[in-house]
């Protein structure tokens, strides 16, 4: 009994969409159908945007963020507090904190966490670059915003030991980065912080 309902080009589009996080075969078919129905309004601009992004996107050599400029928009924003660096596991964590609108600092993306079982060691992460940044004279505080997993906490302890020779204050988020960001978004939905200082300390940290 035949199962194909479209040509190979459309089936290829559906297969590629199904690889995206949160999209299964059925939702990928719905997305593909929506694109096909709105080829001029949606599919054509999306195709151009994807091509442009593929050509211009790069990894920031300073913090590890993903952007179309290098250094990235965060690193070149002079309004941010250059004395504070928030360390995150992944770019997704950086974006989550930015959506919460409570961090006015610089970031550093490790690219993962230490995981002996997976063969991920310090040389596989951007830890040396973080230590080098921590020794910059303008840096006064490092906030370890790593997830509250065994690997995340192991990485936090390892980094804390390495930063012992730097003249910086090392603090950690009370919870994992995603949990903290989600709770901050929830709190802001109920009540806006009354001042800039309150916004800054909505991220509850404790001495490492």
Summarised one tens digit per residue, pLDDT across range 118-161 is 999 999 999 999 999 999 999 999 999 998 899 999 999 999 99
Q: What is the mean pLDDT of residues 194-198?
A: 37
pLDDT number for residue 5:
65
pLDDT at 108 over 90: yes
The model's confidence at residue 165, banded by pLDDT at 50, 70 and 90, is confident
Q: Average pLDDT for residues 76-84, to the nearest whole number?
A: 94
What's residue 2's pLDDT? 54
Cα angle value 155/104/52 (rounded, 5°) = 85
- Is the CB of residue 83 less than 8 Å from the CB of residue 169? no
Distances (CA, A) of 45 to 26, 35, 42, 82, 107: 24, 10, 6, 37, 31
The pLDDT of residue 8 is 87
Are the C-beta atoms of 17 and 31 separated by less than 8 Å? yes
Identify which has the larger pLDDT, 146 or 188.
Answer: 146
pLDDT of residue 190: 38
pLDDT attached to residue 187: 38
């Amino acid at each position: 009994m035949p199962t194909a309902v479209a040509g190979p080009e459309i089936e290829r589009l559906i297969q590629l969409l199904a690889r995206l996080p949160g999209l299964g075969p059925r939702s990928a078919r719905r997305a593909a159908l929506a694109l096909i129905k709105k080829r001029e309004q949606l599919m054509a601009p999306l195709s151009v945007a994807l091509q442009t992004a593929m050509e211009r996107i790069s990894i920031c050599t300073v913090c590890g963020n993903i952007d179309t400029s290098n250094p990235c928009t965060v690193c070149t924003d002079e309004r941010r507090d250059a004395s504070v660096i928030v360390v995150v596991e992944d770019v997704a964590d950086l974006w989550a904190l930015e959506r919460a609108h409570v961090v006015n600092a610089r970031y550093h993306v490790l690219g993962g966490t230490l995981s002996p079982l997976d063969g991920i060691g310090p040389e596989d992460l951007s830890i040396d670059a973080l230590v080098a940044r921590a020794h910059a004279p303008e840096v006064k505080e490092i906030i370890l915003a790593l997830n509250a997993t065994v690997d995340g906490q192991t990485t936090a302890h390892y980094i804390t030991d390495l930063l012992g020779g730097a003249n910086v204050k090392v603090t950690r988020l009370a919870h994992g980065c995603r949990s903290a960001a989600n709770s901050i978004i929830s709190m802001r939905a109920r009540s806006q912080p009354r001042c800039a200082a309150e916004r800054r300390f909505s991220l509850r940290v404790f001495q490492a």
